[in-house]
Chain A
Amino acid sequence: MRRWILICGWLSATASMAQEAPAVEVYPFGSVDLLMTSSSGRGVEVNRLRRGDSPLSHLQANLFADIVVGDDLTIFNQITIDPSSGATTSSFLRTWAQWRLMSNTHSDLHVQFGKIPTPFGHFTERAYSDKNPLLGQPLIYQYFSSLRSNQLPADNADLLSQRGSGSGGFAGYEGGGSESARSGLPLVYDSCWDYGGGLIGSVWRFEYLLAVTQGTLSDPSSNAIDSNDGVQWAARLGFVPFTGGLIRFSWAKGPYLDRVVGPALADSDEVEDYEQRIVGVALEYEIRHLIVIAEVTRNRWESPFITDAAGRKQDLKVDGAYIEARYKLAPGLFAAGRWSALRFGRIDDGSGRSHRVRWDRSADRLDLSVGYWITDGVLAKGGIQLNDLHAAAAYDESDHVVGLSLTVGF
């Protein structure tokens, strides 16, 4: 896979350079985020990402340097600096190229390759603090379930024993794989983009995307090392029914298990046999000072040792949703809210009584905020985030965050 990405990149660069020496322009810019938080319970922990960074980090900088080569090729570059993370610099590097193949008044077509933006849903471009009206992110794009890609639950009871522990690094599944602690899988891990390529374009009121990537949405290969021999296919189709409206359908499937669990599988099985499959629909409506965005997803992971009461393999399902609204109260002043939720599917509890329970603790998150653009490029936000992680019967845990943030663009 990596070889193909390099070949594509080389071909594009060669084709571009083969023409007359194109004009090259570099556009450097960036932003710095400062954040103060006060939290209860695991409020901060349930926002933390795998590298140790977080949308609630006290200090974070995003630096960009977009390079435009001639009229048709743009190379986008970004790196995030977050002192709270001990991860390698390369894991924070995002570089991808977009090459315009054709464009006219009715249609256009581009090819993308490199570490490409998440080819799913409707959140990626709003993940940055100056675009995200709230402090946190929707659960669909960030919250870690208790399923891992590199350690297998031995059976249903083993999986159920770790409910609610996906956000912190955890270990203990007895089905095989890596013994190190690691967080679980989110539905879509937007914080880490994946290596791959694809086509993106539009015809009339439709937009489309077809992409192939090394990893999956839930476990992208952010360091260019593929964790298995399969690829993920992703597609997105959008339609603009009227000005200010958008509906987007997304779909993706690909093997998500790490090859490290291979020895634990039956002889007839390969890690590539177990896939993540996810579909989603996003709606956006804008009018004057109001924006409303809603998204629902249905996800399933195939797992080798999870079975129903009859002993047949059973997929692990999760439904996710969020609705978000932002209203501008005055020039530069806005209020926003987002409710997001995850509902995990039910599996047999393994007790032999055909009792079905949710395989992970469902979660609700309510984000509320007020923001004010102090001047061009300087945004102050104050917000609260209420997280409720469900027990089997009732709420048993409340993990809240109150935060003040300042974003300075340059």
Chain B
Amino acid sequence: MSPARVHRQIRWLLVGIASCLCATVSNGFAETQQAVVYGLVSLQETDPRQRPPRYYRGPYRSARDTVAAESALQSVIIYLADVSPPKDGWSVGPRHQMAQRHDTFIPHVLPILAGSSVGFPNQDDYYHNVFSVVAGDRFDLGRFGEGRSQMQRFDEPAIVVVRCEIHAGMKAYIVVLDNPHFTKTDADGQYRLHIPAGTHRLVGWHPTRGRVEHLLQTAPGDSVRIDLRL
């Protein structure tokens, strides 16, 4: 091996080591800039069930039984309302999914980052139709059958009311947010959200209970409990 080649390899090795060191330091610094907010959400009353269909639609046109998509407590979204985006914008995460099963959209509420796409797989053995006519995010995927899925991209922050034209009781919400600092409550109403340290408005939102806000001040490494009531 020639001395020039040895020098070149050593140089690349040093560059690699330096890069790893920089990344480690950078990550550690970013983590120390973060805080955690967690808490419990309570709802004042429970949601009614899905409205029953007024007309019998027969086999392969309606579910013989419906399923509960999720409890009302699981339909609460917690997010930060005002977070400046980085220079190159937020990176959009993996593709989301909202299925149709037993005449129900699952999940009932889906938070996504603006620019994300959502797949709508039909898991029933009859047609569904997925559409929204709310201004800003109008779309209509038409009717499609079992095993088929249609995709829709949501670019603008909005609360998109998703419906099925065939089954009037089917209704779901896609909450398109302008930053990735959001989460959903679990079945017990608990949530945990990593946020950038600083002063922010923490918002809790539910489709029928509306929203509550909480002004939040955190220092790097803080872990703050905020309980919300909707």
Contact = CB atoms under 8 A, between A and B. Distances in A.
Interface of A: 25, 27, 29, 64, 66, 68, 74, 76, 98, 103-105, 107-108, 110, 117, 124-125, 200, 202-207, 209, 238, 240, 243-244, 246, 286-289, 328, 330-332, 373-376
Given A76-B54, A331-B132, A332-B133, A243 B60 contact: yes
Interface stretch (B73-81, B141-149, B175-183, B215-223): B141-149
11 contacts: A66-B54, A108-B64, A202-B58, A207-B56, A240-B58, A244-B145, A286-B127, A288-B144, A332-B131, A375-B134, A376-B134
Nearest to A248: B58
Contacts of B197: none
B55 A238 contact: no
Contacts of B144: 288
A74 B66 CA distance: 15
Main secondary structure of the interface of A (DSSP, over half): strand
A240 B126 CA distance: 10
A66 B52 CA distance: 8
Interface residues of B, number: 31
Contact of B64 (A105, A205, A206, A328): A105
A373 B65 CA distance: 30
Q: What are the 5 A-B residue pairs with the smallest beta carbon separation, nearest first?
A: A207-B58, A288-B142, A331-B138, A243-B145, A202-B59
Given A76-B54, A246-B58, 8 more contacts: A25-B48, A105-B64, A207-B59, A238-B58, A240-B126, A243-B127, A332-B140, A374-B133
Given A331-B132, A331-B133, A104 B59 contact: no
Given A243-B126, A331-B131, A331-B133, A27 B143 contact: no
Nearest to B132: A331
Contact of B161 (A209, A331, A374, A376): A376
Interface in B141-194: 142-146, 161, 163
B143 A287 contact: yes
B59 A206 contact: yes
Contacts, number: 89
B5 interface: no
A286 B60 CA distance: 13
B227 interface: no
Nearest to B148: A243
A406 to B, nearest CB: 15
B64 A200 contact: no
Nearest to B166: A286
Interface string B60-93: 1100110000000000000000000000000000
Contacts of B134: 375-376
Contacts of A29: 51
Nearest to B163: A376
Contacts of B139: 331
A123 to B, nearest CB: 11
B10 to A, nearest CB: 61
A108 B63 CA distance: 10
B23 interface: no
Contacts of B48: 25, 27
Nearest to B131: A331
Interface centre among B52, B58, B134, B142 (most CB of A within 10 A): B58
B213 interface: no
Contacts of A76: 54
A73 B106 CA distance: 25
B65 A103 contact: yes
Contacts of B145: 243-244
B56 A110 contact: yes
A27 B163 CA distance: 18
A203 B58 CA distance: 9
B135 interface: yes
Given A68-B52, A207-B59, A243-B145, A103 B64 contact: yes
B13 to A, nearest CB: 57
Given A289-B142, A376-B163, A243 B65 contact: no
A332 B139 CA distance: 8
A258 to B, nearest CB: 30
Contacts of B132: 331, 376
A334 to B, nearest CB: 9
B51 A66 contact: yes
Residue of B65, B126, B161 with most chain A CB atoms under a 10 A cut-off: B65
Nearest to B61: A240
Contacts of B163: 376
A28 B178 CA distance: 35
B198 to A, nearest CB: 37
B136 to A, nearest CB: 10
A68 B52 CA distance: 8
Contacts of B135: 375
B11 interface: no
